[in-house]
Amino acid sequence: MRIAGLDVEFAALPAPVPVWHAQVTTEQWQTAATAVRDEGGRLLALWAGPIGDAEGSVGAASEPAFMYAAYVTLEGAFWLSLPLVPMAQIGRQLVYPDLAPVFPCATRMQRAAADLSGVHALGAEDLRPWLNHGAWPADHYPLQQDPAKLPLVQATELTDYAFVHVDGDGVHEIAVGPVHAGIIEPGHFRFSIVGEKVLRLEQRLGYTHKGTEQRMTQLAPLQAARLAGRVSGDSTVAYAWAYCMALESACQTTIPARAAWLRALMLERERIASHLADLGALGNDAAFAFGLAQFSRLREDWLRAAKTVFGHRLMMDCIVPGGVNSDIDRSQAALLLQQCDAVEREVRTLFNIYEAHAGLQDRFMTAGRVTPALASRLGLTGLAGRASSQAWDVRCDHPFVPYDGMEVAMATHHNGDVAARVLVRFDELFESMRLIRRMLDEMPPGEVLCPVQLPQQPARGAGWVEGWRGELFVALELAGADQANRIKRCHLHDPSWQNWPALEHAIMGNIVPDFPLINKSFNLSYSGQDL
């Protein structure tokens, strides 16, 4: 198969969605990035593979190190592997060509790979640490370590991050965070302003780095789905499904049809729960407390029904390798259908109230605008991207069971402001209600779980799921039976990697009091990109 002008052999990975893999040269690595961009595709994820240190602590000393990139075009997702060769002239560092000039959203992913794996983008302009705030020495790379014999590492002093300084008459800075007044996770926001107008925003994240990707390599493949589901708690279904899809791909396992339908049912319920929460919070950030009260009440009822039917408010640990851990009966299906009708009626009433409320619309319209052209250049994805004319949705573009028979209607808008992101949430919520009704009415009978047999030989698999924020991607490498079927590498990618930098642009030209509103309209994950 020939993709993006590359004369290489692509191998299709066994998966419900089209994902191909190929090993490329340095020249092909650069050619692919440019070709994907020119064809209107986008960068999905960028990460480093298993890398041994000077003594070969991870794998055999002869085992090559790789840099990986995943791209999306209309044909599907493409996972490229680039063997890394140390360059003696720069201290035998492992290097690869910088992708930031082609895809600006690659910058932070490259900085994270440098912190965790000691690989460096050759020619990159921004070399500041991203995840390492001083928790480990600059010459220590966590993902180069043997997961079975992790060394004791002493934290160094907190580093003084080199924020970009803005000069000019009347310009001053406001530092917000990393500790916030509410219960949100920590993140630092440095505003450069004149009066109340924002000239520039720079973020500093990484405060919640947990060592998740190293921990994945210490878990048995059949148990690691539980950790995947805890990467970002509001996306537990999406992450668990993406990991299980990657594992089932590596093991060439096809799950029962009913299990796939139940997974999709949970995913759409997770999407609705998040939209209900955000629509209430957006009303509250615009001083419309009534909206917060009503949407919070509806979300609470929605979560309680999940607890009744699936055993957990967030449906955590309900998706397992090979399917799901329990079925639903006719009475439970009737309960979910009844709730859909009741909640949708109230949300439609609230939609009319939001649309007719002049004060609310005055705050929403034109605030935090990201034009379609800027959204395309920055790689804005998911819900926020669709509000800026970036019409990508895995459920529509590359549908798998049961979405392949659902004709999912993609919610899009072109204004790219808070109002557009609110409208996309409403539209997606109503569409998810429709999908849930069809799933409950048409769900096929049968088993909900099948055995997953780990492969004898090293294998790789990919998972690709449209979560409520956007597409999640999981890349999994298994070592094979001769190494106890351990996980060599599991990279879990959140769409917040692409969208956090876009938020910096969205706030420019707005006033400081609008930042909470604009920030909430994106509602990005700290935990999901602070692995």
- The domains of the chain, with CATH numbers, are 11-144 (3.30.460.80), 212-444+461-529 (1.10.645.10)
Partnered with residue 413 across adjacent β-strands are none
Model pLDDT, residue 71: 97
Query: In the chain, what percentage of residues exceed pLDDT 90?
Result: 84
Strands 76-87 and 19-23: parallel
User: Residue 55 — pLDDT band, cuts 50, 70, 90?
Assistant: very low
pLDDT band at 56 (very low <50, low <70, confident <90, very high): very low
For 483-500, the pLDDT digits (tens) are 889 999 999 999 999 999
CA–CA distance from 496 to each of 132, 308, 524 (Å)? 18, 31, 5
- Report pLDDT for 1: 55
pLDDT digits (tens, 9 = 90+) for 381-397: 999 999 999 999 999 99
**Is the pLDDT confidence value at 53 over 90?**
no
Q: In the prediction, which pLDDT does 6 show?
A: 75
Contacts of 68 (CB under 8 A, 6+ apart): 45, 46, 47, 48, 49, 79, 80, 81, 82, 475, 491
* Residue 7 or 121, more confident: 121
Specify the higher pLDDT residue, 155 or 205: 205
The string of DSSP codes covering 398-433 is S--TTGGGT-PPPP--SS-SHHHHHHHHHHHHHHHH
Six-digit token pair at 30?
């650069």
476: pLDDT strictly greater than 80 = yes
Distance CA 525, CA 504 (A): 15
Lowest-confidence segment of 127-136, 425-434, 463-472 by average pLDDT: 127-136
The pair of structure tokens assigned to 12 is 């299709």
Q: Which of 47-61, 97-111, 205-219, 319-333 has the lowest mean pLDDT?
A: 47-61
208 band by pLDDT with thresholds 50, 70 and 90: confident
Tokens of 265: 């049912």
What pLDDT score does 200 carry? 96
Report whether pLDDT(3) > 70.
no
Using one digit for the tens of pLDDT, what is the confidence trace for 276-288? 999 999 999 999 9
144-188 pLDDT, tens digit per residue, is 888 888 888 888 888 889 999 898 899 999 999 898 877 788 999
Higher pLDDT, 93 or 474: 474
Q: What is the pLDDT of residue 9?
A: 82
Nearest to 75 by CA among 19, 116, 23, 21: 19
pLDDT tens profile 74-118: 999 999 999 998 765 455 689 999 999 999 999 999 999 999 999
Q: Does 239 score more than 60 pLDDT?
A: yes
- Percent of the chain surpassing pLDDT 70: 96
| Residue type at position 466 | E
